[in-house]
Structure 1
C-alpha cells in the first residue's frame, strides 16, 4: 500500500470507515450463533496475519528492528489488543449502550495528545468537523430508557479502554515519524497474537460452542474486514494529521454501521441516532474538505 497523492490519508481513512462500518454491523452475528467473543478475538488475531504478510512482502521483507520501532509497534498492538480484551470484561458486566459511547470518545484523547505533544493544528473547517464528529460519537449506541448497570465494575474498564485506544491512535501517528507503516502493522499483529492464549484461557469451554461455518467461519470473514481496516488506519495516520484521522474514522465507522443497518438489516435508528448520522455526515464532509497536511506544511514553509 503506497501513497500516490497528497490525499492518501483521506482515502485510507475512508477505507477504514467502510470496512469497520460493515464489520460493526455484522460483528455480533458469530456470538449470537454460539461462538464466544473470546474465541472471536483469537480469530481476529489470526486474520491479522495475511495483511501483515502482504505489506511486509511489498516492503521487501524488511522489518524495522530498531528499539524505537519495536517499542512503538508493540505498544500500539498491546494497547489495541489489550483494550479489546478489557472490552470483553466490561461488556460482560455492564450495558453495551452505555459502554460503547464512553469508548467512542477515544479521539478526544488522541486530539489532546496530538495538539499538546506534536503541535498539530487544523483550519476552521477541520476544527468544526472535529467538534461535530465528537458530538456525533456518543449518539450511535445510546438507548434512552433502557435499564443499565449501576456498578462501577463496567465503567472503570470502559474508561480504560477509551484511554488505551486514544493513546494507541496517538502512538500510531508518532510511530510513523520513526518507522514504516508496514513494520508498525507487523508488530501490531504480533501483539495481538501474544494475547490470543489469554483470550483462549478466558473461554468457557463447558458451555456449548458452535464450531460450524456460522461460528469460526463466519467470524473469519467478518474479522478480516476488521484487520484490513486496521491496516488502512495505520496508513491513514502515516499520511494525515492525527487530529483529522481519529475523529473521521471513529465517527465515520459508526455512521457506516448505522446506514448499513438501516439499508440491509431493517433496523431503523431512533431520533438521537438519526441526529448522530447527520452530524457525522457533515463532519466527514468538512474533514474531507480540510486542506491536506502536506499542503498546509508547504504553505507554512513558503
Structure 2
C-alpha cells in the first residue's frame, strides 16, 4: 500500500456500526477457530463437518428473513450477486478439501490467509474506497500478520504442483467473495445476501457427501456431529454479522481486521487452554494483529450508510 490510500478526515474517532459487527464476527470466529478442529480429531470427517456447517446456516437465515417479513430479492441482479457470493465461499471450501490432500497444510493455510489482499486491491481500484494513515498502517500490519498464525517452520521443501494451484484458487475465491459481498450491499439487503449464501452452502452438501470416505470409521456420537453443530453455529452467525459489517464499513478495512483478529483470538484461547506459549511466528502474529486492530478501530470513519 502506498500513501495514496490516505484521505483527510477532520472528524475524530467515533463509534461506528461496522466496527460493532466486525468485532462480533471476530469474537465468534475466534472462539469457533479454537474448537472447530475438535470434531475432526474425534473422528468426524471434515467433509461431514461442512455438511453440519451448511445446515447451521439455516436457523440464522430463517431468523433474519422472519424479521424482514420473509422478503427476498429475486431480481436478476440480486440472484446473480447472491449466488456469486455463496458459490465463491462454498466452492472455495470444496477446493480446499482437495488442496490439503495434495499438498502441505503448513504452506497452504498461510497462502490462503492472504485472501484479504485481493479484497483490498479490488475495493481500492473499483469501489474507490480510501482510508487515513491509521487505516493504511492497520491494513499493512494485518496483512503481515495473517500468514504468521498458520506458518510452521521446518517443513521439508515442496515442489509447486497441483496443491499450489488449488490454494491460489481458494485465495482468489474468498478474496472475491468479500469484494462481491461489499458490492452487493449497495443494491440489496443483508438478509437476501445471507439467504443466497445459505442456499449455496446447501447446494454443495451432495458434493461433500460424495467426497466422504464412509468406509472409514466415523464418530456419530456427541463428540462428532453434535460438537460440530455447536462450533459451526458460531461460524454461521459470524458470517451473518460479517455481511452487516461489509454493509456499513469499508471492505478494505473490514476484511483485514476480521481475518487478522479472529486468528488472534483463536491463538490466545488455545494458548490459555494449553497453558503454553506459541512459537515465535505466532507471537509475532499476535503483536501485529493487536497493533492492526488498534489502528483500524481508531481510524475515523467517513463511510456513508449503505
TM over 0.5: yes
Runs of at least 5 residues in structure 2 that lack an aligned partner in the other structure: 1-13
Matched, 1:49 2:58: yes
CA contact (8 A) 2:250 2:303 kept: no
Structure 2 counterparts to residues 121-140 of structure 1, below 5 A: 121-140=130-149
Alpha-carbon separation, structure 2, partners of 1:257 and 1:95: 21
Structure 2 equivalent of residue 116 of structure 1: 125
Count of aligned residue pairs for this structure pair: 292
Q: CA deviation at 1:150?
A: 3.1
CA RMSD of aligned residues (A): 1.4
Quote the residue 1:244 is aligned against: 253
Query: Would you say the 8 A contact 1:181–1:235 is kept in 2?
Result: yes
SS of equivalent residue, structure 2 residue 260: helix
- Partners of 1:94 and 1:221 lie apart in 2 by 29
Report whether the alignment pairs 1:262 with 2:298: no
Equivalent position of 1:300 in the other structure: none
Aligned match of 1:275: 284
Determine the C-alpha separation between the residues in 1 that align with 2:15 and 2:184.
20
Contact persistence 1:261–1:268 (CA under 8 A): no
Q: C-alpha offsets along residues 79-133 of structure 1, whole Å, 9 cap, x if unaligned?
A: 0000011111111222212111100100110011001111100011000100000
Task: Report if aligned partners of 2:123, 2:129 keep a CA contact under 8 Å in 1.
Answer: yes
1:33-59 CA-to-partner distances (Å, cap 9, x unmatched) read 111000000000000000001111111
Q: What residue in structure 2 maps to residue 226 of structure 1?
A: 235
How far apart in 2 are the matches of 1:199 and 1:149? 28
TM-score (norm 2): 0.93
Structure 1 unmatched runs, 5+? 298-302
Instruction: State the 1:293 CA deviation.
Output: 3.3
Partner of 1:107: 116
Q: 1:38 aligns with which of 24, 38, 47?
A: 47
Name the CA distance, whole Å, in 1 between partners of 2:242 and 2:20: 10
Find the aligned partners of 2:195 and 2:179 in 1 and give their Cα distance.
18
Taking the aligned partners of 1:6 and 1:68, their CA distance within structure 2 comes to: 32
